[in-house]
Amino acid sequence: MAADMRFHLHNFLHPTSHSDSNTAAGRARSDQLRRLITEGTPTPRIAILGAGAAGICMALQLLEHGISSFTIYEKGERVGGTWRDNTYPGAACDVPSHLYSFSFAPKVDWSRKFPEQPEILGYLESLVSKYNLGNHIVFSAEVTEAVWNEERSLWALELSSGATHEAEVVVSGLGQLNRPNIPQIAGLDTFTGTKFHSAQWDHSHDLHGERVAVIGIGASAIQFVPQVAKLAAEITLFQRSVNYVAPKPDRPFTRLQISALKNVPGLRQAYRSSIYWRLEFRFRLMKKGSRLGAMMQRKFGEEVSKMASPNLPTEALVPQYTPGCRRILIANDWYPTLLRPQTRVVTEGVSRITSTGIITESGEEIPVDTIIFGTGFHATDFLAPLQITGRDGQDLNHAWKEGARAFLGLAVSGFPNFFILYGPNTNLGHNSILFMIEQQVGYIREIIDGFVTKGVTSAEVRERSMENFDAEISAALTKTVWNEDCSSWYKNSQGRVTNNWPDYTVAYKQRLAHPDQRDWKTNTASQVLDLE
């Protein structure tokens, strides 16, 4: 009982760390691992795909536990993943800054309550230099194919350059939002003005005095549109779906606050925990039929419809779906931007694009100089276009043709020694994704430990465990607002919610505290350990 209470207290005070960290048992396991490695026990070669937040987290936790036999393959020329790519004006995170760092490597001096892209990228880069990760990263190295070799218990990797590598373990840190979606609109190629996607911002292009069109209004657009509107002569927003946009309680920290959060013992941890729990309770909104959601919908509608005018119709302001079905956005400058005389909101779709403008579905031609796509990412395709061939020639993209699914979001039966960070059904609508990544990394690392401590050569999730998990997730998803009637990147074309975790993150943390041997089929060099 006392031990149990300690567990709960630890988790309450340190809600964001993985359960195995800072515990006596975890330290003992780590010490044993280090001792074996020092005595010469070989460690597996680990290929980490992507040097974004997930890949960096995996690498740091391996190093922390004495494993350095890993390589990070990064297709770009810089680390940072989504925070390297998304440099659009106004790019920021809607998770408060003191929660947006790893519990084991916190940033103690955030400059404001909600972090902006340069500061987050700086944080990730600082981790790479502080822990000398640079020696482990190969840049301009996109892994295009991974093929499992059953006989040798390893993955053969091929890079876009044609180079080949081998690794016993592969960990994907590719994430869900790495491939920009530019819709195939008729005539797009004929447009003679400038066009670019929000994740590929053309900083060399001056938008001053231009007629700008933005196609697609989601989390990215509500951040860059207010900035673009300050420069453009006219801005036309093609907003097919309306968002709930709530106030953003953002401001810079004062020097005193920064100093206190950095220096007063326990203060930063208490602040971080309070942010976590505050966000965590918002999961209530994601549950179908929540009274809080109904109240928010009513109040939001009443407030926002007051802004309606002939130029800004109610349908451009008030969503008709339950809050949370699409991501709830936060900004203070969104509605003031909509009210500017230079802003026009078009709620109908785009019919086609000409050399000089955009033709709406009702046939109106709107001349524009620049088109910016705020049309999001190929979020439900997950690891594609990477070709992954597992045991018995199974193709992962084929296995996922009706929607990606994975045990705990991180492993797929038939694909031994292959782990996914921020995989299917691990995205959130209410809390920090770094939290989820940290739990996954702790769990995967414990499996990798077994390669050293138990001589494991391959670990594969059992099909039955995967099916049970899938059934559980599918049932839980029916109780969330995400499968209600709205369009969102959480669903694939068949309407399956492939991206989101349908529970509190505390529940996810508990599930990922330690791998349960009953879920895993493990081979060692000489035998198959069937622990069922």
Note the residues at the interface with ligand NAP (CB under 6 A). Answer: 92-94, 177, 183, 198, 215-221, 223, 238, 240-241, 327, 349-350, 374-377, 487, 489
Query: Is residue 48 within 8 Å of residue 420, measured between CB atoms?
Result: no
Least separation in angstroms between residue 259's CB and ligand NAP is 27
Q: What angle do CA 281, 284, 289 make, to 5 degrees?
A: 170
- E strand or H helix at 27: helix 24-38
Q: Is the peptide bond before 385 cis (omega within 30 degrees of 0)?
A: yes
- The residue sitting closest to ligand NAP, measured at its beta carbon, is 218
Nearer residue to ligand NAP within complex by CB, 223 or 426: 223
- CB nearer to ligand NAP: give 318 or 513: 318
Which of helix, strand or coil describes residue 7?
helix
- CB-nearer residue toward ligand NAP: 220 or 498: 220
What are residue 312's DSSP bridge partners? 309
Question: Smallest gap, in angstroms, from Cβ of residue 482 to ligand NAP?
Answer: 12
Distance CA 186, CA 361 (A): 12
Smallest gap, in angstroms, from Cβ of residue 428 to ligand NAP?
Answer: 9
Q: Which is nearer to ligand NAP, 58 or 358 (CB)?
A: 358
Q: Which is nearer to ligand NAP, 11 or 347 (CB)?
A: 347
Q: Is 190 exposed, middle or buried (0-12, 13-18, 19+ CB in 10 A)?
A: exposed
Tell me how far, at minimum, the Cβ of 422 lies from ligand NAP, in Å.
11
β partners of residue 159? 143
Question: Which lies closer to ligand NAP via its Cβ, residue 83 or residue 508?
Answer: 83
Residue 238: CB minimum distance to ligand NAP, A: 5
- Give the separation between CA 441 and CA 423, rounded to whole angstroms: 12
Handedness of CA 366, 370, 375, 381 (dihedral sign): positive
- If the CB atoms of residues 198 and 417 are measured against ligand NAP, the closer one turns out to be 198
Tokens describing residue 398? 């084929």
Name the minimum Å distance from CB 94 to ligand NAP: 4
Whether 396 and 383 have beta carbons less than 8 Å apart is answered as yes
Q: What is the DSSP string of 80-132?
A: -THHHH---TT-B-SS-GGGSS-TTS-----SBSS-BHHHHHHHHHHHHHHTT
Quickly count: other Cβ atoms within 10 Å of residue 116's Cβ: 16
Q: Which is nearer to ligand NAP, 482 or 489 (CB)?
A: 489
Least distance in angstroms from the C-beta of 241 to ligand NAP: 4
The DSSP bridge partners found for residue 359 are: 352, 365
Beta carbons of 460 and 416 less than 8 angstroms apart: yes
The closest alpha carbon to 226, from 141, 333, 123, belongs to 333
Q: How far is the CB of 182 from ligand NAP (least distance, A)?
A: 9
The rounded distance, in Å, linking the Cα atoms of 90 and 118 is: 10
Nearer to ligand NAP, 23 or 347 (CB): 347
User: What are the residues facing 143 on neighbouring strands?
Assistant: 159
What amino acid is encoded at 304 in this protein?
A: V
Residue at token pair 């036999």? 69
Of 176 and 458, the one with the shorter C-beta distance to ligand NAP is 176
Amino acid present at 378? H
Cα-only R_g, the chain: 24
Minimum distance, C-beta of residue 248 to ligand NAP, in the bound complex (Å): 10
Least spacing, CB of residue 349 vs ligand NAP, in Å: 6
**Dist CA 198 CA 90 (whole Å):** 11
- Residue 521 forms beta bridges with which residues? 460
Shorter beta-carbon distance to ligand NAP: residue 92 or 410: 92
Nearer to ligand NAP, 56 or 237 (CB): 237
> What is the nearest approach in angstroms of ligand NAP to the Cβ of residue 239?
7
**Closest approach of ligand NAP to the CB of residue 93, in Å:** 4
